[in-house]
Amino acid sequence: MFLLLFTLAFGDQIENGRTPAVNIPLEMTQIYQLGGVEDEELALGGGVELIADTSGDLIVTDSDNTRVLIFNRDGSLKTQFGRKGQGPGEFQGSLVPSLDEKDNIVIFDTIAKRLSRFDREGKLLNDLTFEPGIQAVITPVFMSNGKIALSAVRSESTGQLSNIVAVYDSEMKKLVDIQGVKQPPLDWSLMNQPDFWVDFLVCQFNSFVQGFPVVAAVGKDHFVVMRTNLYRGDIYDRDGKVVGSFSKKHKPKACSEEARTAVFEDMWESMSANPFLAQFLTKPVFEKAVSKAMSTDTLFPVFFLLRLGDGFAVVTNYDSARRQGDIDIFDAKGRYMGIAPYKGPMKNASGAGERIYISGLDEEDEVVIRCMQIEGLERLAAR
């Protein structure tokens, strides 16, 4: 077992006019790793997404291989299911996992415009079609009343794409828009021309640089929304009403051209997990789009937003080229608790309890998933 030690470096936290003295050293321990040279029996594809529960179960969607894998607390494979097709419970691609209010596994299939509920053994419970305007599901958050806070890319009636966070009911009917950022309009009648897809990628890259909304669960009845370019956020209740806001002084770090390109490459590879997009988003298209996309002098304030313990965590200043960044920890009320350095690959992340699950490419460019546990998080929250 690999042990990574670090000490939380605490900044000032102002509460009721006082600065509490908090100084609890924590350790981050790698519990297990899936894939790569340490696990040659498991070959994961590039389109990996993940969600975990507080019991330690990890649910992984492997879009390249059209399957769902469930691992237990020690990383052993419990079961797997899924196959390509258009029938009940079958998948077409671009799969994103979540857990509903009853802890059932929910798989969002962007290609099929459908979400499918399964029990923990992989038995299909029901299928539900969602609005065709949703072009990509990024993060779904289920709350105790069955409502869903969803971050996604949505096509508006004009054909213009928007990065949105919205609340949907249990039947996937939209109730309220929370935040949205419109992308520049594209002429979809030109989609058979290569330059169209260059412009398409440029729009996606620029939207990340300029800031689009991301979401994470906070407990069972709240969610937090931030923008990728701004270190502040709002906490919402399950009906989509703001119940709190927070911010933190952010110290930006310089972004190299290598780091910028690496972020865009991660985005490109994630989009290429969609079989329809993959035929157009070729390597030459990607390279041309990178040369045309906006530049940035600093690393992104919000690289990932994820649930952690009773609160949430923000991955900030992550350098995709050097594979290192910081993890800021907040409690359920948005109060800053501390910062922890992280070193390793990161293309996706999910948190539950005191664990953070991180997927990425290892040094051999193989997909791996690392289960990291933050020791003492409950003691920190108690202070």
Which residue has 């800031």 as its token pair? Answer: 211
The alpha carbon torsion through 175, 180, 183, 186 (nearest 10 deg) reads 10
Read off the pTM.
0.88
pLDDT (0 to 100) of residue 274: 81
Q: Is 186 within 8 Å of 172 (Cβ atoms)?
A: no
pLDDT (0 to 100) of residue 13: 35
Show pLDDT as tens, one digit a residue, over the chain (383 residues): 333 332 333 333 323 333 333 445 566 789 999 988 777 778 888 789 999 988 889 999 998 889 999 999 999 999 999 999 999 889 988 899 999 999 999 999 988 899 999 999 999 999 999 888 898 899 999 999 999 999 999 988 777 899 999 999 999 999 999 999 999 999 989 999 879 999 999 999 999 999 999 999 999 899 999 999 999 999 999 999 999 999 988 899 999 999 999 999 989 988 888 888 889 999 999 999 999 999 999 999 999 999 998 899 999 999 999 999 999 999 999 998 888 888 999 999 999 888 999 999 888 888 999 999 887 666 665 66
pLDDT (0 to 100) of residue 383: 60
Q: Give the Å distances, CA to CA, from 54 to 80, 107, 141, 215, 219.
A: 20, 19, 15, 19, 11
Q: End-to-end CA distance of the chain: give it in Å, rounded.
A: 30
Domains of the chain: 46-342 (2.120.10.30)
Which residue has 């997927």 as its token pair? Answer: 359
Amino acid at 322: R
Q: Is 31 within 8 Å of 55 (Cβ atoms)?
A: no
Dihedral angle sign, alpha carbons of residues 62, 68, 72, 73: positive
Token pair for 130 = 């969602």
pLDDT (0 to 100) of residue 16: 31
pLDDT (0 to 100) of residue 268: 92
pLDDT (0 to 100) of residue 381: 59
d(C-alpha 4, C-alpha 2), whole Å: 7
The alpha carbon torsion through 330, 335, 340, 341 (nearest 10 deg) reads 90
